[in-house]
Amino acid sequence: MNAYIASVIENVKARHANEPEFVQTVEEVLSSLEPVVAKHPEYEKVDLLSRMVEPERMFTFRVCWMADDGTWHTNIGYRCQFNGAIGPYKGGLRFQKNVYPGIIKFLGFEQVFKNSLTGLPIGGGKGGSDFDPAGKSDAEIMRFCQSFMQALYRYIGPDVDVPAGDMGVGAREIGYLYGEYRRLKGAFENGVLTGKGFSYGGSLIRPEATGFGAVYYLENVLKHEGESIQGKTIACAGFGNVTWGICKKAAELGAKVVTLSGPDGYIYDPDGVVTPEKIAYLVEMRGSGRNRVQDYAEKFSVEFHAGEKPWGVKADVIMPSAMQNDVHMEQAKQIAANGVKYYIEVANMPTTNDALRFLMEQPGMIVAPSKAVNAGGVATSALEMAQNSERLVWTEEEVDKQLHQIMDTIYNMSVSAAEQYGLGYNLVAGANIAGFQRVADAMMAQGVF
């Protein structure tokens, strides 16, 4: 490994010893940049990489809220403004009880590269809270979101930092967050948040965008192999917003998602999650707050495997679309043994680094990285920001057309970045390099700080 890259990684390991997820993503990304650093000695000269791995700023804040029974609770809120070189910080908020600085930092770092790949003017950020939305009433969620925004509103804005949803934060939470922001600011600055409801500035197609974008990306990969998506079986995980969008678009294009998963296990539906009734039921399951996928198995009389992950199922395409580190070495071996050809990451960092390397080394297997595959979500958020600043509403066709073009461009840019550095057809390294290049150019141009 290049000595400069190795030294930056060592520093990150020493500084963030208690944040393994952040160390993991830094190692994964920086190790792809060897040929770039070799070709551009000027980066080492100004120690660019050390600045890339350090957030511009990150802060915590206290969030107090009252439960319905009158008891008071205190959670920690976070916002990490990782890199603003190419645009206002942009990235979601995650509300989940396991949230701690290492999760926010890893997501923020990934977001910098992902947002750069979209080609749109958005920097990278992330935030959230260790608040656990499971089992909370609507009124509790509202009070929590209001309190969260009271603490955050001074530090964000349409040209400063634009949060959105992530796990545990959907349209309902964004609505409460925006309501409180508007009340505090006394202005209708709706470009401050994305993923809004349509009635107050949300974009058409935003709810579907991450899933649709992932399928558009997959189509590019299949085309490269001379194959079509028609008739393909896809194993997915999760049953949230992203998986819902994949099911919908896959069904429309004649493919079928055959697995879904939840904290309770996974379901196998050999006919596919393809009918409008089944697809709509995912939304109902999510809205119920029960957070179990067994409900699907009961409703549609399909297999349910308690406590298991779906990665042993034989499918043409694997799309880990639930959460980070879902696929470890053990599952990766199973996937390879099943002769799967397409491993298309969707969730942020769903694969451990050793499993990812193993899968990439399998002859004939094509691996695509989440930061490219799931970028359609944040890209459509940037389209939402554009509509808000223009005070216009674009049609569904217009947004979908732009999303499709952006995904094609992300794919093509990744392919050519890897080729340019002599790495062949390497979608993982290509995405890291292409994402890096744009941010690096902007940082070099703006001087050292």
In terms of CB distance, is 127 or 265 closer to ligand GLU? 127
In terms of CB distance, is 238 or 377 closer to ligand GLU? 377
In terms of CB distance, is 206 or 256 closer to ligand GLU? 206
How far, in Å, CA of 170 to CA of 150, rounded? Answer: 19
Residue 108 CB, nearest approach to ligand GLU (Å): 10
Q: Which part of the chain contacts ligand GLU (CB under 6 A), choosing from 73-81, 292-300, 307-315, 375-383? A: 375-383
Work out whether 52 is an interface residue with ligand GLU (CB under 6 A): no
How far, in Å, CA of 340 to CA of 431, rounded? Answer: 22
In the chain, the N- to C-terminal Cα span, in Å, equals: 27
Work out whether 324 is an interface residue with ligand GLU (CB under 6 A): no
- Coil, helix or strand for 257? strand
Tokens 């395409």 sit on residue = 317
Please indicate whether residue 45 is annotated as part of the active site. no
Task: Name the catalytic one among 90, 105, 114, 126.
Answer: 126
Q: Which part of the chain contacts ligand GLU (CB under 6 A), choosing from 85-93, 147-155, 267-275, 436-444? A: 85-93
Work out whether 92 is an interface residue with ligand GLU (CB under 6 A): yes
Work out whether 376 is an interface residue with ligand GLU (CB under 6 A): no
Work out whether 348 is an interface residue with ligand GLU (CB under 6 A): yes
Work out whether 90 is an interface residue with ligand GLU (CB under 6 A): yes
- Segment 194 to 213, residues that bind ligand GLU, using CB under 6 A: 194
Residue 378 CB, nearest approach to ligand GLU (Å): 4
Residue sitting closest to ligand GLU (CB): 92
Q: Considering Cα of 260, then 104, then 84, then 23, what sign does the dihedral take?
A: negative
Give 290-349 as a DSSP string: ---SHHHHHHHT-EEEET--GGGS--SEEE--S-TT-B-HHHHHHHHHTT--EEE--SSS
Rg (CA), the chain: 21
Work out whether 80 is an interface residue with ligand GLU (CB under 6 A): no
Q: Contact with ligand GLU (CB under 6 A): which of 30, 164, 255, 285?
A: 164
Give 97-122 as a DSSP string: TT--HHHHHHHHHHHHHHHHHTTSS-
Q: Which part of the chain contacts ligand GLU (CB under 6 A), choosing from 89-97, 182-190, 255-263, 310-318? A: 89-97
Instruction: Tell me whether residue 397 is exposed, middle or buried, using C-beta atoms within 10 angstroms of its C-beta: 0 to 12, 13 to 18, 19 or more.
Output: exposed
Residue 174 CB, nearest approach to ligand GLU (Å): 10
- Coil, helix or strand for 261? strand
In terms of CB distance, is 43 or 436 closer to ligand GLU? 436
Q: Contact with ligand GLU (CB under 6 A): which of 376, 377, 430, 435?
A: 377
| Alpha-carbon distance values, 125 to 48, 69, 176, 341 (Å) | 19, 35, 21, 33
Work out whether 381 is an interface residue with ligand GLU (CB under 6 A): yes
- Coil, helix or strand for 267? strand
Count the residues of the shown chain that bind ligand GLU, applying the rule CB under 6 A: 10
Instruction: Tell me whether residue 220 is exposed, middle or buried, using C-beta atoms within 10 angstroms of its C-beta: 0 to 12, 13 to 18, 19 or more.
Output: middle
How far, in Å, CA of 49 to CA of 359, rounded? Answer: 27
Q: Which part of the chain contacts ligand GLU (CB under 6 A), choosing from 33-41, 178-186, 219-227, 374-382? A: 374-382
How far, in Å, CA of 51 to CA of 60, rounded? Answer: 21
Question: Which residues carry out catalysis?
Answer: 126
Under the rule (CB under 6 A), what is the footprint of ligand GLU?
90-92, 164, 166, 194, 348, 377-378, 381
